[in-house]
Amino acid sequence: MLKPYKRIFYFTAALAFVMAILGPLRPWLLQRMVDDHIFGGDVQGMTLMVCAIFGLLILEVVLRYYFLYNADWLGQATVRDLRVKVFNHVTGLNLNYFDKTPIGQSTTRTINDIESINTVFSEGSITILADMLTLVAVITMMSLTSWKLTLVVLSVFPLLIWGSYQFKESVGKSYQKVRNHIATMNSFLQERISGMRIVQIFHAETREAGKFRQINRDYTAANLKAINAYAIFFPVVDIISALSLGLMVWYGARGVLSEEVTIGTMVAFPLYISMLYRPIRMLADKFNTLQMGLIAAERVFKLLENDDSTANTGTLAPDKLNGEVAFDKVWFSYNEPDSVLKGVSFHINPGETLAIVGSTGSGKTTIISLLNRFYEIQGGHILIDGHDIKEYDVFALRRHIAVVLQDVFLFSGTVMENITLRDASITEKEVIEAAKMIGAHEFIERLPGGYYYEVMERGATLSMGQRQLISFVRALVFNPDILVLDEATSSIDPESEGIIQHAIEKLIDRRTSIIIAHRLSTIRHATNILVLEKGEVKEFGSHQLLLDLENGKYRELYEKQFLQVNGDVAV
């Protein structure tokens, strides 16, 4: 992910190296000023040293600004690219992934976890490199100044290393729990907010609040464990630092008396100790930041490594499909070994309409998903215009198939944006013409703002019939060669059904269509009707042919809906 920005990375690393060298020069210059100029009464030399220290300080400030800015810039640029990569990957996954993965978990991976990866750059790897270089430079300068004093100062280092390791381990485990609890919380909130209507209908607010309170309490407890580790570690570091300084003063004072240590060295060493312990104090925290980023990165790259996507190896990308569809002994299961479709075969000629009926769970909607290659079949073949659908480019194939679902999904945005899905190639004139053809133009014009009325999330401010009409217009403006209607009238009131039925007739005119419906009145004029039961084809033929079958499944379904008390069938 860093390859496009490797120059910035190398430049930032070089700044870290230069700052590590410049940092220990200030105490060394101060030592020289005390030993060579203050006690020697050299005012001019002392002034020069003060100017050198001040100039060095200004240079460090400038370099640190560029270092911090570039480190943060690297983080932002990398996570920006990573977010796009993750989003593109997620949109390419099979629906099987979304069937098994809570939406909140995917949201956490795309937002929270990627933001944690940002800290790897801004507070992690490069800053750790800078601190490590500073430590090496400081210890080197201390050793050159007085190796005996350096050994005294470093004598307490084993305590510091042990404490830092314990802190790192404790905080690392806590943060891993924090990440898990964040994903759980996001999933819970997303589901409850999306399903708030159900929560309120069944008066479950108190129970759901109790569940959220427990999730929140677990999340808080995980954070408090990390806070507790910080509260212990930093005072311990201060104590060790003070102990190191005390040992230095005790030994250094004796050295001054015996003239083994100069006054300048005694002045410089507290500064060295401060420069030594400051990065060490922060290193343990930054290692945890790095660890958090790595935990988040593991989750994100695990998602990126999920290859449960449609293998887009096909090359066929025709400008238009004739619309011939054939299923040849198709077997499919969501979870082995339970098969949803068992050797399903049927054929649709170009321009014909096939209606699929059957009880819930018979496999009707699965057929639509397989036609769009949302899932891969385990056996048999699906052919369009005589070619296996695997020979088609996936995106080219789906461009020629439009699906109108029972549960219409509308995005936040205008009616126009929901119809065109922000496809710049579709003009406003085409949208209006399609709306007039469907019979939706009048109701859209009555909305405040007309086609630029702001639709709320999922179309909450529109009726079911209005949302359905918008979905029909959306299907028509994309001018599909194959149209699929998945129980598009099942949730429509009788008053709206006439308008919807007119829209359906306009949509299926002169194009291959597949209609799934519980209301058999909407499919009587289909060319053929496919009857499914437990994933198997029970009957196939025209409306009248299937009605004429003695003890036929379609006839049984039809009579259940249309047989009146006196035994007459309402046709």
Of 118, 73, 78, give the one whose Cα is nearest residue 294: 118
Q: Are 515 and 485 in contact (CB under 8 A)?
A: yes
What is the full DSSP assignment across 411-458? -SEEHHHHHHTT-TTS-HHHHHHHHHHHT-HHHHHHSTTGGG-EEPGG
- In the numeric block, which tokens belong to residue 372? 């769009």
Q: One fold for both 7-304 and 316-400+512-571?
A: no
pLDDT of residue 491: 54
pLDDT at site 497: 62
pLDDT score at 489: 61
Q: What is the pLDDT of residue 388?
A: 92
Three-class SS of residue 571?
Answer: coil
What pLDDT does residue 184 have? 83
CATH 3.30.420.40 fits 7-304, yes or no: no
Which one-letter DSSP state was computed for residue 485?
Answer: E
Question: Which tokens is 34 given?
Answer: 């005390």
Architecture of domain 401-479: 3-Layer(aba) Sandwich (3.40)
Contact by Cβ (8 Å): 262, 31: yes
What pLDDT sits at residue 285? 67
Q: Which residues of the chain have pLDDT under 70?
A: 104, 121-124, 284-285, 288, 488-500, 502-503, 521-522, 562-571
Stretch (H or E) spanning 346? strand 341-348
Domain boundaries, the chain: 7-304, 316-400+512-571, 401-479
Distance between CA atoms of residues 365 and 356, nearest Å: 9
Q: Is 88 helix (H, G, I), strand (E, B) or coil?
A: helix
Q: Are strands 512-516 and 325-332 parallel, antiparallel or unpaired?
A: unpaired
Cis geometry, peptide bond prior to residue 337 (ω within 30 degrees of 0): yes
Query: What number of CA atoms fall less than 13 Å from residue 70's CA on the CB side?
Result: 22
Q: So what's the pLDDT on residue 571?
A: 41
What pLDDT is attached to residue 500? 66
CB atoms within 10 A of CB 152: 19
Q: How far is CA 250 from CA 69, 158, 272, 349, 520, in A?
A: 42, 20, 16, 98, 97
What digits encode the pLDDT tens for the residues 2-43? 788 889 888 988 998 898 888 888 888 888 888 888 877 778
Return the sign of the alpha-carbon dihedral for residues 423, 434, 326, 318.
negative
Q: Which fold has domain 316-400+512-571?
A: Rossmann fold (3.40.50)
- pLDDT, residue 65, reads 92
Token couple for 423: 């496809």
What is the rounded distance in angstroms from the CA atom of residue 327 to the CA atom of residue 121? 52
